[in-house]
Amino acid sequence: MASTKKMDVITTFLGHDAVIDGNIEFKGVIRVDGAITGKIQSDDGTIIVGEKAVIHGDITVGSAIITGEVNGDIDASSRVEIYSPGRVMGDIQAAVISIDPGGFFNGKCVMTSRITPKKKSEIITDKSLTADEPNGKEKRSKKL
């Protein structure tokens, strides 16, 4: 019988005494309570930055939950959540960005949809006249 891994279970834990100077690549869910200097990368993983954690470096993940300190940019394909007493000093790019009362953010915020662009074959050209386009200009519409 094959076992399945729950996505919300912490798969890696770096305790409050952990000090890492280097890049980290992970899968699943990582919780950091120590200090990290370097890039943190995961294609679709989740990072949880604990209250005592201090990170100096950029983070690229699926989701980020911040209650500690991040000094660097965060690029999350899904969401970034900052809870009290969390601090982010850097830019954030994510589809959903949430900052609770007591959370601190200083940087530029870019919300993205992360929707995959349509292929050219999925777009058709309609040359019919409309009230918006009285000169018969081409308009693009999605194929039904």
- pLDDT score of 84: 96
- pLDDT score of 113: 76
What average pLDDT does the structure give for the chain?
Answer: 83
Residue 114 vs residues 10, 72, 75, 96, 135: alpha-carbon distances, Å: 25, 21, 11, 10, 35
Q: Which residues does the chain have with pLDDT short of 50? A: 1-6, 115, 118, 120-133, 136-144
- pLDDT score of 125: 46
- pLDDT score of 2: 45
pTM metric for this prediction: 0.74
How buried is 104 (Cβ within 10 angstroms: 0-12 exposed, 13-18 middle, 19+ buried)?
A: middle
- pLDDT score of 114: 61
- pLDDT score of 139: 47
- pLDDT score of 5: 40
- pLDDT score of 122: 47
